[in-house]
């Protein structure tokens, strides 16, 4: 999400919200509202200031499902629009693939009969095959599910571990 990307840029540059705001010509309070999601869509002018000051591609900063993307794309010719949408699609694909790979899955892209297929494997066994577009469209749900499972598993482990420690001390 834009708010998370903005916060990461600011923190990676070791800036407070106030300092970051000064760099791009807005207040620290405005940056705080963006980071908390109170203000969701800054103007393209602000986006381009952030991109120029911190050497970031606008495609990497703008979320693929945001109003900002529509505003950004409206000013482009057809070739540029195709480039932006391809870049966003590949960014989303890579984010999803990285999360799955970090959790022990292997992701293969296969072209077959004019279709782009994604094969998901675990321990050299095919778990699923789907169209690449379905992988990206449903990927956010998959990633959320994996993250919830991992958080649950870690929290469950810690709770069990802590309870064992308490019972041994009695």
Q: Do residues 92 and 165 share a domain?
A: yes
What was the pLDDT predicted at 158?
60
All residue ranges of the chain with pLDDT < 50 are: none
Q: Would you state the pLDDT for residue 3?
A: 84
Q: Are residues 66 and 125 in the same domain?
A: no
How crowded is residue 25: how many other Cβ atoms within 10 Å of its Cβ?
11
E-assigned strand segments in the chain? 105-112, 115-122, 125-131
Distances (CA, A) of 78 to 73, 84, 152: 9, 10, 45
Q: In terms of residue numbers, what domain contains 9?
A: 1-75
- Cα separation of 108 and 114, whole Å? 16
Q: Looking at the structure, do residues 71 and 82 belong to the same domain, yes or no?
A: no
pLDDT at residue number 12: 93
CA 68 to each of CA 18, 32, 44, 130: distance values in angstroms, whole numbers, following the listed order: 23, 19, 7, 29
Residues 88 and 64 placed together within one structural domain of the fold: no
| Residue that finishes a domain, picked among 75, 104, 119 | 75
Question: Looking at the structure, do residues 168 and 86 belong to the same domain, yes or no?
Answer: yes
Same domain, 146 and 161: yes
SS3 37: coil
Residue with tokens 């480039």: 83
Question: Would you state the pLDDT for residue 153?
Answer: 59
Say whether both 71 and 114 belong to one domain.
Answer: no
pLDDT of residue 151: 60
């Amino acid at each position: 999400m834009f708010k998370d990307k903005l916060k990461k840029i600011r923190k990676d540059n070791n800036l407070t919200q106030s300092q970051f705001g000064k760099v791009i010509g807005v207040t620290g309070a405005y940056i705080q509202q963006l980071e908390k999601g109170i203000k969701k869509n800054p103007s393209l002018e602000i986006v381009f200031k952030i991109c120029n000051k911190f050497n970031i591609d606008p495609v990497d900063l703008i979320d693929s499902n945001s109003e900002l993307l529509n505003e950004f794309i409206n000013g482009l010719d057809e070739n540029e629009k195709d480039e932006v949408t391809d870049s966003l699609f590949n960014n989303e694909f890579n984010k999803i693939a990285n999360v799955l790979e970090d959790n022990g899955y292997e992701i293969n892209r296969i072209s077959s009969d004019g279709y782009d297929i994604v094969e998901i494997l675990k321990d050299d066994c095919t778990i699923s095959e789907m169209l690449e577009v379905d992988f990206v469209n449903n990927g956010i749900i998959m990633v959320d599910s994996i993250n919830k499972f991992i958080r649950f598993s870690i929290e469950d482990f810690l709770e069990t571990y802590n309870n064992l420690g308490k019972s041994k001390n009695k």
